Amino acid sequence: MTIAPVQRTASTAWTDARLILALEEVVETELNRHLKVAKEWMPHEFVPWSRGRDFDGVLGGEAWSLDQSEVTPLARVSLVVNLLTEDNLPSYHHEIASMFGREGAWGTWVHRWTAEEGRHGIAIRDYLLTTRAVDPVELERARMSHMSEGFESDNAHSMLQSVAYVAFQELATRIAHRNTGHHSGDPICDQLLAKIANDENLHMVFYRNLLRAALEIAPDQAMRAIADVVTDFRMPGHGIPGFERAAAQIAIGGVYNLRIHHDDVLQPVLRHLKVMEIGGLGPEGQQAQEELGLFLDGLNTQATKFDERQAALLARRAARAAQA
């Protein structure tokens, strides 16, 4: 079965400015839907303030040490990556406000999204410092280093690629937060990250539905954008100091890896949009669709190889632990 695009228009006619205007009504509809389903929640309610005490320094409190942390080592690494990613919100806001504008429904959405994302960093940092889950000095130095570098999107040159990217990235972030909570060893951390993950899921739905509308009015360009984003996808926190090492730990621990990326991020969005079933495409769209299919096959093969290496590594670790 194939899904025919609702409208065929020459791709050369769709500039970013025209697409933004054409999608304004969809943005307004999705914004109103989002505001109806989004649930207010208070970050301070998920921070165990009673566990807090002064650190060393000006207040003469107790210096941080690793044995004070109650979260698992895997969760500690993932929480820091998640938080430093959220910390770059000013750069993300600049990126999307510059791309989508600050007026009308687009502008209202940009500011609403920024406000909701802002509480994620607030809540995670308060939790980490109150529970002494991480070294506060190293955390602040990492924040300064990461934010001083700023952030430049790989997709800033294209409105459609920007929409396609966030449709996948918001779901990836949701999965990363949720799995971090599951691996944290702390029910309060798990509850907090579940709240944050719910926000990220609603953001994903907004952008996914916007991408669906783009596929209807500019199918060839939208298909090209999806293929480009999927084949070159990387998380926005890739510039964090030590990201590669942290990403490897996160992957082996089962928080986020190739299998999760393929099965739980890419495939759900692509299936919902029926991307591989769209027919009536022009040469550009057909080529992009074929490239996407080949890439997904290759990624699945890579994920299977990773699964095998991960299982072998975890088995060796379990054997060493048993001997010890």
Please give the annotated binding residues, written as ranges. Answer: 86, 117, 120, 170, 200, 203
The CA-atom distances, in angstroms, between 159 and each of 62, 162, 182, 225, 231 are 50, 5, 35, 9, 17
Q: Are 77 and 246 in contact (CB under 8 A)?
A: yes
Q: Are 272 and 208 in contact (CB under 8 A)?
A: yes
Positive or negative torsion for Cα 150, 155, 157, 162: negative
Segments in the chain forming alpha helices (H): 16-22, 24-37, 73-87, 89-100, 104-130, 136-149, 159-183, 187-217, 219-231, 243-252, 258-260, 267-273, 283-323
Q: Hey, what are 79's tokens?
A: 């929480």
Q: Are 281 and 5 in contact (CB under 8 A)?
A: yes
**C-alpha span between 260 and 176 (Å, rounded):** 9
**C-alpha span between 104 and 167 (Å, rounded):** 21
DSSP readout, 130-170? HTT-S-HHHHHHHHHHHHHH----TTTT-HHHHHHHHHHHH
Positive or negative torsion for Cα 27, 230, 313, 243: negative
Q: Which residues participate in the annotated binding site for Fe cation?
A: 86, 117, 120, 170, 200, 203
Residue type, 59: L
Q: Are 250 and 256 in contact (CB under 8 A)?
A: yes
Q: Are 283 and 12 in contact (CB under 8 A)?
A: no
